[in-house]
Amino acid sequence: MFKKILIANRGEIALRVIRACREMGIATVAVYSEADRGSRHVQQADEARFLGPPPPLESYLNIEAILSAAGKSGAEAIHPGYGFLAENALFARRCEESGIAFIGPDSKALALVGDKVASRRTAASIQVPLVPGMMAASRSMREFEEAVESIGYPVLVKASGGGGGKGMHIVRSTKELHSAVETSRREARSAFGDDSVYLEKYIERPRHVEFQILADHHGNVVHLFERECSIQRRYQKILEETPSVALDNDLRRRMGRTAVAIMKATHYTNAGTVEFLLDQDRNFYFLEVNARIQVEHPVTELVLGVDLVKQQIRIACGEKLPFRQEDLAQRGHAIECRIYAENPEQDFLPGPGRIILAREPEGPGIRCDSGIYSGIEVSSFYDPILSKLIVWSEDRETARRRMIAALNDYTILGIPTTIGFLADVLDHPEFAAGRTHTHFINQHLPNWKPRGSDSVLLDIALVASALSGSKHSGARQGARQLESPTPWQTTGKWEIGGSRHGL
């Protein structure tokens, strides 16, 4: 097993990987930018290496700076988390060349699945159902027009190297086509440095259903069932759950088998996710492969009883999967809510700033993967995710109620968050009935406003208690308060009488 791993990421996912390493007896190296000097991942790792100024290209996307930090610290492996360099084939190749294990698929598999058009072609070659559309990116308007003639409106313009919902535009008529293609190309160039775009049939009100995969280096590939991620804003997930109410066992088996076949065809190793759209007639279509640990991985962990990050590390180290497909079964129901520093009243506009007070919910079946504390400055340079609240219970309805209660117990003051909005999604009768689709938010919660004003009084009381510094405020009871770290937590490793103590 590796003795030391560098985590090329920040925030909640860096902490998640640190926790897995600790339990496995592996030392951790954090990396950080100027904006993250006071971050929890820096304090919690065994050592930390400074990368550079806050802009991602000068820090978390700086391949050579990260490899140099790994070399200097003697790390044998790098965990990329999600985002930043996680799906960067060049980074994976540079790790391979430097003799450092990349905890993810190899650079060839990454290059194959990282491009949407290339992975559509692979899926088609093994007869996997695809969303009808182009099989190659194009620059010719004539080719776009011809594609529309065969697939029919509405269509979706998508970036070949896309991610995070960027560069996607719905087109419902020929007069919109030209400008949508140009806009998408421009956005793709600035977001991914690649302006290849293509067209897909736009599926109306689908569900997003994806399958978690683990594949080792000995030819074993299993799926760990589905996650439903239909609750989205700007084509990006904000709430995920498993199992999906839309699948019966037959459909689940067919989709799971298809997902495994795609990963086998690409010689994929490590953890990955195969995404599908499920239309209203329950036909499924391959969407893309996400070649990394997903933000929403905890719901699978809770329902399968498998630690996916530890499995990633074991696979990268050459170990065999410890289970076969028939050993895996779903138990109970899990829901995850992504807590973003965003304002749902203003079209989810990111709202960075200082968190005055953070208070996390706790209780049976509640997990909070968080990267924040009271007093932290949320930077505008990075993805505005603050934490993930995950609940498990024996069935969907109990999990739904548990999540609403946990959200009501979750306080983050000083910046806008998605907490109140998510509670209203869960409380909606259509959500309770399981009638979810990717346009749920636009259809059921347009122009959302927070309900009632009684929470304001609690907020005022909490701010007053935070400012007075009282440790015994009644307003704080019932949940964990995340204080800014004391010197005892930030000093790092120190020595007494020759023995080493980690704080």
Cβ 459 vs Cβ 413: under 8 Å: yes
Out of 144, 202, 225, 286, point to the residue binding ligand ADP (CB under 6 A): 202
56 versus 485: smaller Cβ distance to ligand ADP? 56
The answer to whether residue 235 forms part of the interface with ligand ADP (CB under 6 A) is: yes
287 versus 315: smaller Cβ distance to ligand ADP? 287
- Amino acid present at 402: R
What is the three-class DSSP state of 461? helix
The answer to whether residue 200 forms part of the interface with ligand ADP (CB under 6 A) is: yes
Q: Which residues carry out catalysis?
A: 292
- CA dist., res. 483 & res. 494, Å (int): 22
Cβ 239 vs Cβ 178: under 8 Å: no
The answer to whether residue 132 forms part of the interface with ligand ADP (CB under 6 A) is: no
Cβ 239 vs Cβ 339: under 8 Å: no
Cβ 140 vs Cβ 305: under 8 Å: no
Shortest distance, position 130 Cβ to ligand ADP, whole Å: 10
The answer to whether residue 384 forms part of the interface with ligand ADP (CB under 6 A) is: no
73 closest CA partner among 105, 100, 33: 100
Footprint of ligand ADP on 294-323 (CB under 6 A): none
In this chain, which stretch among 5-13, 156-164, 307-315, 339-347 interacts with ligand ADP, using CB under 6 A?
A: 156-164
Q: Is the peptide bond before 53 cis (omega within 30 degrees of 0)?
A: no
Shortest distance, position 385 Cβ to ligand ADP, whole Å: 15
The answer to whether residue 219 forms part of the interface with ligand ADP (CB under 6 A) is: no
- CA dist., res. 242 & res. 227, Å (int): 5
- Per DSSP (E only), the strands in 110-242 are 155-159, 169-171, 197-201, 207-215, 221-233, 236-242
In this chain, which stretch among 117-125, 195-203, 322-330, 338-346 interacts with ligand ADP, using CB under 6 A?
A: 195-203
In this chain, which stretch among 121-129, 203-211, 356-364, 394-402 interacts with ligand ADP, using CB under 6 A?
A: 203-211
The answer to whether residue 275 forms part of the interface with ligand ADP (CB under 6 A) is: yes
Binding string, residues 102-131; x marks residues near ligand ADP by CB under 6 A: -----------------------------x
Q: Name all contacts of 450-456 with Cβ < 8 Å and 24+ positions apart.
A: 450/345, 450/420, 450/421, 451/420, 451/424, 455/420
159 versus 413: smaller Cβ distance to ligand ADP? 159
Buried b (16+ CB within 10 A) or exposed e, 306-337: bbbbbbbbbbbbeeebeeeeeebebebbbbbb
The tokens describing 358, both together, are 């953070």
Out of 156, 215, 302, 316, point to the residue binding ligand ADP (CB under 6 A): 156
31 versus 422: smaller Cβ distance to ligand ADP? 422
The answer to whether residue 360 forms part of the interface with ligand ADP (CB under 6 A) is: no
Residues that bind ligand ADP (CB under 6 A): 131, 156, 162-166, 200-203, 206, 208, 232, 235, 275, 277, 287-288, 438
